[in-house]
Amino acid sequence: MTWQERYGAGLMNTYGTPPLLLTRGKGAHVWDVDGKEYVDLLAGIAVNSLGHAHPAVVAAVTEQVSTLGHVSNLFASEPPIALAHRLLGLLGAEGRVFFSNSGTEANEAAFKLTRRTGRTHVVATEEAFHGRTMGALALTANAAYRTPFEPLPGHVTWVPFGDAEALAAAVTDETAAVVVEPLQGEAGVNQPDKDYLARVREITTRHGALMWLDEIQTGVGRTGTWFAHQNPALVDGVVVPDVITLAKGLGGGVPIGATIALGAAATLLEPGNHGTTFGGNPMATAAALAVLDTIESEGLLDHVTEIGALLVEGLTADARVTETRGAGLLLGLDLAAGIDAKLVVSAAMAAGWLINSPRPHRIRLAPPLVLTRQDAEAFVAAWPAILDSAGAAS
């Protein structure tokens, strides 16, 4: 049997059969089962923040798992305590953290936390993605994801992303929370005006509702600042949310989610309200600490800003890219009318580059934060020929 046949016979068909079987990775490079090399400009969907097999993550996980890998929440261990304080330090705020194992779980905890306000109404945004478990799914805008699983937790209103007027009209004194992404990653990197998050803060404060930022894709250095809501390229002024959810890039490939609640929101979840067996285990939190340490020690925030700017400038030099969205290393590229982004993805793969197309005419790039200048320049050089082989007329 081919690996495709074994895959299809063994795994539930939730994703279709993937195009490649990957066997190893190093930095931003991966190799498939035939030994063909690719530059990974997706990083496992913004997860492999330090690339593949980064020595700091390998060492942290190896050391922790060979010392004390898991204890459950019946006992404490040092790494989750250190990680909680580290994250709060990066936010420069007082608060508390709940650790879990994925993005959707980080959002489940946040969703439950919002119910402890005594209110149930949540306002979310159109095209938002918050995860696939029943609670997070209830907030996800895509009806195709939701309707097969209804009834879901209700009392959710969607408003157009980036539209502060629509949000102001939807939020009332009964609203528990507004949940929003600084950039909508799964929708292809939708970017709001720079005053949007400040408006969200204003509106939620006025109605006593929580402001919940889903930074699962945008957080942990992805846009060139620790968190996207701190990025002056994306957000004007200082915005302090009540709840922030993180996952993807935090563990450098090791599954982890974090729900961070600031100020008064930090004590909404009380003993018995929530729990997880694996969440925040010493191994996963040690990996996350290694990721944060490395971002700092290798100066990766500035590197991300620099390489992101290089990519935007280089790729938009081809007129077939009509617009770019995002910042740092979370970029959406709009392709000129008539260019099929799926064909561009295939052409890129054939040429040794992994990218994806969250929308029919848009490409998303979310490479490892450690992507080298050399790899970025090589991609820029390869780009026009990739568009040519996708049949895009120039």
Ligand X SMILES: *Cc1c(COP(=O)(O)O)cnc(C)c1O
121 vs 364 by CB, closer to ligand X: 364
Q: Residue 131 CB, nearest distance to ligand X (Å)? A: 4
User: Which residue number places its CB atom closest to ligand X?
Assistant: 103
227 scored as a contact of ligand X (CB under 6 A):
no
64 scored as a contact of ligand X (CB under 6 A):
no
219 scored as a contact of ligand X (CB under 6 A):
no
Q: Residue 133 CB, nearest distance to ligand X (Å)? A: 7
Peptide bond into 282 cis (omega under 30): no
Q: Residue 181 CB, nearest distance to ligand X (Å)? A: 5
Q: Residue 189 CB, nearest distance to ligand X (Å)? A: 11
**Sign of dihedral through CA atoms 156, 157, 158, 164?**
negative
Contact stretch for ligand X (CB under 6 A) within 129-137, 225-233, 342-350, 377-385:
129-137
Three-class DSSP labels, 320-349: CEEEEEEECCEEEEEECCCCCHHHHHHHHH
- Give the Cβ contact number of residue 34 at 10 Å: 8
Amino acid residing at 237: G
Contact stretch for ligand X (CB under 6 A) within 17-25, 209-217, 280-288, 369-377:
209-217
Q: Residue 278 CB, nearest distance to ligand X (Å)? A: 13
Q: Measured over all CA atoms, what is the biggest interatomic distance in the chain, rounded to whole angstroms? A: 62
Of 38, 111, 129, 379, the one binding ligand X (CB under 6 A) is 129
Tokens of 280: 């925040």
Q: Is 129 annotated in the active site?
A: yes
Give the residue among 251, 283, 257, 269 at the shortest CA–CA distance from 102: 257
104 scored as a contact of ligand X (CB under 6 A):
yes
Considering only residues 130 through 189, tell me which ones interact with ligand X, judged by CB under 6 A.
Answer: 130-131, 181, 185-186
* CA dist., res. 309 & res. 1, Å (int): 45
* CA dist., res. 75 & res. 18, Å (int): 40
Q: Is 214 annotated in the active site?
A: yes
124 scored as a contact of ligand X (CB under 6 A):
no
Of 114, 204, 217, 357, the one binding ligand X (CB under 6 A) is 217
77 scored as a contact of ligand X (CB under 6 A):
no
The contact pattern for ligand X, residues 239-258, with x = CB under 6 A and - = no contact, is --------xx----------
Close Cβ partners of 179 (under 8 Å, ≥ 6 residues apart) = 107, 110, 122, 123, 124, 125, 128, 130, 139, 212, 213, 214
Q: Is 334 annotated in the active site?
A: no
Contact stretch for ligand X (CB under 6 A) within 98-106, 190-198, 318-326, 378-386:
98-106
What is the distance, to the nearest Å, from the Cα of residue 380 to the centroid of all Cα atoms in its chain? 24
Number of residues that bind ligand X (CB under 6 A): 15
Our CA angle for 184, 185, 188, nearest 5°, is 95
* CA dist., res. 308 & res. 183, Å (int): 15
214 scored as a contact of ligand X (CB under 6 A):
yes
103 scored as a contact of ligand X (CB under 6 A):
yes
Tokens of 57: 């993550």
Instruction: Catalogue the E-assigned strands of 273-384.
Output: 321-327, 330-335, 353-354, 356-359, 362-365
Cβ burial of 128 (10 Å; 0-12, 13-18, 19+) is: buried
Choose the catalytic residue: 214, 242, 334, 375: 214
Choose the catalytic residue: 129, 161, 227, 379: 129
Chain residues binding ligand X by CB under 6 A are 102-104, 107, 129-131, 181, 185-186, 214, 216-217, 247-248
**Which residues are known catalytic residues?**
129, 214, 248
